A and B are shown apart, each in its own frame.
Chain A
Amino acid sequence: MILRLNEKAVIRRSILDLCKTDSIRKESTDDAIRAIREKRGTKYKENLWDYVVALGAQLSRPPFDPYREKIKLKTEVGRKGTTKTILKIPILLYGEFNLSQSSQDALNFALNNLVDNNSTVGIISKEEPYDERKYPHFQIINDVNKISDSEGIVMQYDDIGIIEKIRKIRKEFWGPIIVEVDENFSDYTHRLLASGVDGILVNTEKITKSKKYVEKHAISVIHDARKIINEFYQGKENDGTCLIVAGDVDSTGKIIKSVGLGADIVGYDLSLLIAKVGFYTENFFDSIITAEKIHNHMIATKNELIGIPAALGYSNFHNMSPSDFRTSSLKASLEGEILLEGVNKTYKKIIEEVLDEYIDTKKISVVQQQKQKIIEMISLEEN
């Protein structure tokens, strides 16, 4: 449980009362905790990610041993027929802002070091790629006539002429093309995929700020984006289209949950990474130290990423699926169609079952559309 200081104090005091005075307590600890939480209200809003957990492997499926067995994290970016880019850690460092020269140097040094250590991560940046890089660079471009020597291309979706632009680029560029989509991605993703796009990038932070996803969480965006891609491939095999999730994915736990719920690669916020490793060590301007810390951070993250699928009984990071996850939140269940812990059903399914029973008992005729509307309205209450 996320115990805040005052909750910890209640528990500790309660036990110490039992220990020291040898007398029966007058107040219930759980009542006191509940009172604290009610008083706190939504002041400290918990992140929905915290309510999602994975199911570990034990007797019914043996776990792998990350210290003694090989767990694959390797991810290919690129569909059939394109020149694929390989990431040894499914992370693309993602940043749109201008980095200082020292930060760029640090980053280049760190990423090259990671490649040498069999831990390739890529970068998405609007900067020109470094000449002496060993890692894949995905360049954000606006002008189709300015394609540099990068391994991949990232374009922002715009209504006008995106398909034409992709076709034009494809004539001279065989690396992966990724399109960063906006909140209306469900309207056009199939068209993008049909035109040969290799990956869809959703920035959950941007999208959840839009009107369409107001009050919704990154889980909802990932769920919808994966659903759209799966619909495109209904009845056929996915030929390598990947879903890249950026935004509210700033820790290993969130990377794991994003991938489990549908992402293939995570766009890790570059500025945040540099801030984390540089700023707090007060060596922000020292390229060598910052590079070492970025490298260390990524290696530790890699080892964390290896540990989770192993504990879930998988030897491949990408074998995790939504069925391996459960939630202790109705909102998360509704937004990501995640099964509730213990009951192994989504909240939507539970509502549907009760509704069916209600319709049967009351003997009313309800068409499918009306049924969906009722479920939606009840779900909205939770949201």
Chain B
Amino acid sequence: MPLSKDILNLRWNMEKIARKDGHKTNLKNLLLDAEKATNGLVPYASLGAHVPNDYFSNIKIKDAKLNTSQNYSDVDTSLTIGGRYSKNIIKTDVPFSVAGMSYGSVKLPAKIALHFALNKLAENGIKVLMNTGEGGALPWEIYGSEKSRENLSKNHWNSILEYTNKLLKDSHLEDICIDELFQRKYPLVVQYASGRFWKDPSYLLNADGIEIKIGQGAKIGHGGLLPGSKVTELVAENRGILPNKPAHSPSRHLDILGPEDLVAKILEIRELTEWKIPIIVKIGASRIYDDMEIILKSYADCATVDGVSGGTGAAPFEVREDIGINTIASLFPLRNTIADYYKTHDEDGFKLLVNGGIWDSERIVKVMALGADGVGIGTGFLLAMGCTLIQECHTDICPAGITGSHEKLDIENSVEGIFNYIKTTKTELENIAGSLGRKNIKDLEMSDLVVNDMLTSIVSRLSFSNGDDYVMKIKQKIENVMPFLNFQGE
């Protein structure tokens, strides 16, 4: 939904009011109210929720060094997904992936920058997993390998090229070499979401992994959303929907209403893909115990859990703010549920990926030490392309030209930024794990972390730097109040 001139004026008026009272006025809420009063529509928001406590900064990595003169490049930071039920296994060189950001929610130049950056990294020996997001894949993502183009008829290939040329022309990117574009050297996970924004099975068959998206942290129980202003003719063509109208995916898969339906759906996809492709189930962090138990008992290879601060291109403001729990808080129930399951089952390579509020090496280490096998990063990549965090991805005023506006994104600089971001994050991960004496990032443990407040200790089960845990702290409190009461020991 574009910001009307009226609303932009309101914002300016409110900014003046907020400045006058020393910014005590909650500008965002005032703006939302004004927006509601002006157009009578549910206001949207984007990026992550404004949760006041995300625990991350209350957790410290013990004795770890980001920057060290020692060389720890032998530390294994790889991640594998699949093999539990699938014949194929995805192997990446870093434990983080590009979280789902679809074409439409981000503009074409940003998608191309990510594509080229990941190709460049692969050429340099660092394979990074890319998730398409729920809005379907771009032609060069699906048909980015010789093998995927083998059985295409000439007509089909011509129509793909025609659409590709339209895409490039629309973004004034005609200079891009088509041959170079149609080379995908990194593993790709495609999303199978409730909107079914894809045209034919090649979307699933040519992917390296399939993620069944049940929910996402920013809009749990709501379904995907792309504001009408961002559904251009080309986005609509890619998704198979009408242009200029908001794309509201159903809040649930119409054929997945419960655990048995999930099993049926996974088996259906397994048959379609000849049991080759790893299948991931993605949920938002909410009723963790129940949802995770269902995923473990389905035929999934991996689960992705998205914390409430996980970003989005657009979500109703109140849904984003008020539904879902924090990434760190979700890890204790996740660990417990997985451990309970494997008390009666043999280890079979099930993987847990976690998203939401993670953008650098330290946060990756924190969630991995708390039980995750890998993480998804979204906002970090946007920042690497120049995002200013104004959180207006749902409108057409992105000053960096990443999510929507007439600003032009510098693809070359963005590719360089993403390349360096991933490379240095990998080195930082090696340094942290290496300085903690680990040879493999998977060997990180909870004992590598300490907390500095009671609540974080309770939700994460981590200890304080002096070795006390929350139970000891409460016992100390009990002992402190004892003298005020008259007790008799036996």
With contact pairs A276-B34, A328-B53, A378-B478 given, residues A54 and B322 touching in the complex (Cβ less than 8 Å): yes
Cross-chain contact A311 with B384 (CB below 8 angstroms): no
The residues of A that contact B250 with a CB separation of less than 8 Å are 65, 68
Q: Is A59 an interface residue (CB 8 A)?
A: yes
Contact B363 A30 (CB under 8 A): yes
Which single residue of chain A is at the shortest CB-CB distance from B40?
A: A296
Of the candidate stretches B184-192, B255-263, B272-280, B345-353, the one touching chain A is B255-263
Q: Which residues of B contact A373 (CB under 8 A)?
A: 485
Most buried by B among A16, A30, A341, A347: A341
Bound complex: CA of A58 vs CA of B215, how far in Å?
7
| B329 engages A307 (CB within 8 Å) | no
Decide: A11 and B477 in contact? CB cutoff 8 A: no
Q: Mark A40-54, 1 if CB is under 8 A from B, else 0.
A: 000000100011111
Inter-chain contact count A-B, CB under 8 Å?
316
Interface string of B196-212 (1 = CB under 8 A from A): 00000000000000000
User: A1 — nearest CB in chain B belongs to which residue?
Assistant: B54
Contact present for A56 and B57 (CB under 8 Å): no
Stretch of A86-94, A212-220, A350-358 on the interface side: A350-358
Contact A297 B490 (CB under 8 A): no
Question: Is there contact, CB below 8 Å, between B37 and A3?
Answer: no
Query: Please, what's the 1-or-0 string for B33-54, where 1 marks a CB less than 8 Å from any CB in chain A?
Result: 1101111111100001011111
In the bound assembly, the distance between CA atoms of A19 and B363 in angstroms comes to 17
B411 within 8 A of A: no
For residue B414, which residue of chain A has the nearest CB?
Answer: A19
150-184 of chain A: CB within 8 A of chain B: none
Say yes or no: B389 contacts A1, CB within 8 Å: no
Task: Enumerate chain A residues within 8 angstroms of B425, measured Cβ to Cβ.
Answer: 18
A120 at the interface (CB under 8 A from B): no
Q: Which residue of A lies closest to B64 (CB)?
A: A28
- A307, A351, A354, A364: the one within 8 Å of B42 (CB): A307
Q: Which residue of B lies closest to A374 (CB)?
A: B481
Stretch at the interface among B149-157, B173-181, B453-461: B453-461
Tell me whether A293 is interfacial, beta carbon within 8 Å: yes
Cβ < 8 Å to A, chain B residues 350-366: 357, 359-360, 362-363
* Cα A297 to Cα B323 with chains together (Å): 22
Given contacts A18-B421, A19-B418, A62-B258, contact A51 B332 (CB under 8 A): no
Return the CB mask of B322-347 against A: 1 if under 8 Å, else 0.
11111011111100000000000000
Interface centre among B36, B219, B333, B481 (most CB of A within 10 A): B36
Q: How far is the CA of A50 from the CA of B309 in the complex (A)?
A: 13
Contact call B223/A65, Cβ cutoff below 8 A? yes
Query: What does the 1/0 interface line of A292-316 toward B look like (CB < 8 Å)?
Result: 0111110111011001101111000
A63 and B258 contact, CB distance less than 8 A = no
- CB atoms of B490 and A363 under 8 A apart: yes
Residues A253 and B34 in contact, CB atoms below 8 Å apart: no
Q: Complex Cα distance A132/B246, Å?
A: 39
Cα–Cα distance between A328 and B357 once the two chains are bound (Å)? 15
Stretch at the interface among B79-87, B90-98, B286-294: B286-294
B-chain residues with CB within 8 Å of residue A18 when the two chains form the complex: 360, 384, 420-421, 424-425
Q: A362 at interface (Cβ–Cβ under 8 A)? A: yes
B residues within 8 A CB of A30? 56-57, 59-60, 362-363
Task: Enumerate chain A residues within 8 angstroms of B431, measured Cβ to Cβ.
Answer: 24
Chain B neighbourhood of A364, CB < 8 A: 487-490
Q: Does A15 sit within 8 A of B, measured CB to CB?
A: yes
Q: Is A340 among interface residues, defined by CB-CB distance under 8 A?
A: yes
CB distance B37 to A57 under 8 Å? no
Contact A56 B474 (CB under 8 A): no
Contact A51 B53 (CB under 8 A): yes
B31 nearest in chain A by CB position: A280
B residues near A328, Cβ cutoff 8 Å: 51-53, 55, 325-326, 329, 455, 459
Are A14 and B360 also in contact (CB < 8 A) when A301-B36, A341-B459 are? yes
Interface positions of A from 325 to 367, Cβ below 8 Å from B: 326, 328-330, 340-344, 347, 350-351, 354-355, 357-358, 362-366
Contact with B along A11-28 (1 / 0, CB 8 A): 110111011111111101
Given A300-B42, A341-B329, A351-B474: A20 and B417 interface contact (C-beta under 8 Å): yes
A263 to B457, CA, bound (A): 32
Q: Counting CB contacts under 8 A, is A67 at the interface?
A: yes
Q: Which residues from A are CB-within-8-Å of B111?
A: none
A363 to B490, CA, bound (A): 6
Verify A59–B459 contact, CB threshold 8 A.
no
A62 vs B255: C-alpha distance when bound (angstroms): 11
User: Are A281 and B38 interface neighbours, CB within 8 A?
Assistant: yes
A5 to chain B, nearest CB (A): 9
Q: B124 contacts which chain A residues (CB < 8 A)?
A: none
Please state if B323 and A55 are interface contacts (CB–CB under 8 Å): yes
Q: Beyond A55-B325, A280-B14, is A329–B489 a contact (Cβ under 8 Å)?
A: no
Chain A residues with Cβ below 8 Å from B295 are: 59
Question: Quick check: is A206 within 8 A (CB to CB) of the other chain?
Answer: no
A280 to B294, CA, bound (A): 49
The yes or no answer to A381 lying at the interface (CB within 8 A) is yes
In the complex, what's the smallest C-beta–C-beta distance from A60 to chain B, in angstroms? 3
Which of B259, B309, B319 sits near A311, CB closer than 8 Å? B319
Q: Which residues of A contact B474 (CB under 8 A)?
A: 350-351, 354-355, 378
Return A31 CB to nearest CB of chain B, in Å: 8
Q: Shortest beta-carbon distance, B35 to chain A, in Å?
A: 8
Contact A53 B50 (CB under 8 A): no
Complex Cα gap A363–B488 (Å): 9
Among A240-284, those with CB < 8 Å from B are 250-253, 256-257, 276-277, 280-282
A377 at the interface (CB under 8 A from B): yes
Q: What's the nearest-Cβ distance from chain B to residue A143, in Å? A: 36
* Interface contact A25-B420, CB-CB below 8 Å: no
Closest to B417 in A: A19
Query: Roughly how many angstroms separate A31 CA and B59 CA in the complex, as a whole number?
Result: 9
- Is the Cβ of B284 less than 8 Å from the Cβ of A58? yes
B459 near A340 (CB under 8 angstroms)? Answer: yes
Bound Cα distance from A51 to B326, whole angstroms: 11
Which residues of chain A have C-beta atoms less than 8 A from B387's C-beta? Answer: 12
User: Which A residues fall within an 8 A CB radius of B?
Assistant: 1-3, 8, 11-12, 14-16, 18-26, 28-31, 33-34, 37, 46, 50-68, 250-253, 256-257, 276-277, 280-282, 293-297, 299-301, 303-304, 307-308, 310-313, 326, 328-330, 340-344, 347, 350-351, 354-355, 357-358, 362-366, 370, 373-374, 377-378, 381
Q: What are 13 inter-chain pairs, A to B, with CB distance below 8 A?
A: A11-B383, A19-B417, A19-B418, A31-B57, A56-B287, A57-B220, A59-B256, A62-B252, A295-B40, A307-B42, A308-B322, A328-B326, A347-B458
Closest 4 CB pairs of A and B: A56-B220, A311-B221, A342-B329, A296-B40
- Add 12 more A-B contacts to A15-B359, A276-B30, A295-B40 (CB < 8 A): A3-B50, A3-B389, A23-B424, A24-B431, A26-B66, A55-B286, A257-B322, A330-B455, A341-B329, A342-B331, A363-B490, A365-B490
